[in-house]
Amino acid sequence: MIKSMPILIGVITFVIVIKIMLKKSDNGYDKSVDDFMQRELEANNTIKDFDKLDINFVEPSNVLPFIDYENIPTYKKVIKKQDLVKRKIELDMIKIPSNLTNTELKEMYGVNNFDKISKLEEHYNSYVRGLFEWAEELYNLNNIYDCKKVLLEAVRLEANISQVYILLAKIYFKENDKSSLTNLKNNINDMDLSLKKVVLEEIEKYL
């Protein structure tokens, strides 16, 4: 009896696997895989003229608070972050919805434009990341007025960086600006943010 146990376990495991496979087949699992493979194949053969694509380029603000700081240690970090934004602001950039797959991107823009589109999105991501890091340094210098300006630019561009919204909410709270806090919360509800729930929970603490 003891010797037959491994065989019995093997048979049971085999039956379970077969049932799972049949269940997947019954639920259209195989068809879903086939459909995906077919769609991916077609996407990899989609060629489009870049100049004819309907692309909404991101337009950075031309009124950001750039300052000619003294070249002293106190301003070293803020100068570095400000200069980074100055460089990034000159680049062409686009924002792509975070829920789009690579297959969908190739369908929309053409596989031949995939690398270029990815580069344009990278420009956007590095620009809004630069805005946040610049705002952080302004906050550390207690330059709250300019810090808010920079953060609001990141908010306008719907940066997918949770700390942008949390830092701005913190400033509004310190200023007892509940109206702006409420507006910020309402705006976030309409945004495509990866950590939207976390951000809203943080802002709710200030309300």
Find out whether 161 and 128 touch, Cβ atoms under 8 Å: yes
The count of residues in the chain is 207
Residue 193's φ and ψ, nearest 5 degrees, are: -115, 140
Query: Is 152 in the same domain as 75?
Result: yes
Tell me the pLDDT of the chain (207 aa) as tens digits: 344 444 444 445 555 555 566 555 556 666 777 777 788 888 888 999 999 998 999 999 989 999 999 999 999 999 999 999 999 999 999 999 878 888 988 999 999 999 999 999 999 999 999 999 999 999 999 999 999 999 999 999 999 999 999 999 999 999 999 999 999 999 999 998 888 999 999 999 988
Look at the chain and report how many structural domains it folds into.
2
Residue numbers of the domain that contains 7: 1-43
Cα separation, 177 vs 207, in Å, equals 10
Query: Is 25 in the same domain as 70?
Result: no
Query: Is 34 in the same domain as 78?
Result: no
Residues 6+ apart with CB under 8 A from 9: none
Query: Is 73 in the same domain as 32?
Result: no
Query: Is 71 in the same domain as 134?
Result: yes
Query: Is 93 in the same domain as 152?
Result: yes
Q: How many CB atoms lie within 10 A of CB 13?
A: 10
Query: Is 86 in the same domain as 171?
Result: yes
Cα separation, 102 vs 125, in Å, equals 17
Cα separation, 12 vs 20, in Å, equals 12
Find out whether 40 and 100 touch, Cβ atoms under 8 Å: no
pLDDT of residue 11: 46
Cα separation, 169 vs 51, in Å, equals 40
Cα separation, 141 vs 134, in Å, equals 11
Query: Is 115 in the same domain as 199?
Result: yes
Chain mean position to CA 110: 22
Query: Is 168 in the same domain as 89?
Result: yes
Q: What is the CATH number of the domain that holds 117?
A: 1.25.40
Query: Is 152 in the same domain as 55?
Result: yes
Query: Is 38 in the same domain as 89?
Result: no
Three-state SS for 39-80 is: HHHHHCCCCCCHHHCCCCCCCCCCCCCCCCCCCCHHHHHHHH
Tell me the one-letter amino acid at 111.
Answer: V
pLDDT of residue 170: 96
pLDDT of residue 18: 56
Collapsing DSSP to helix, strand or coil, 177 comes out as coil
Query: Is 39 in the same domain as 93?
Result: no
pLDDT of residue 192: 87
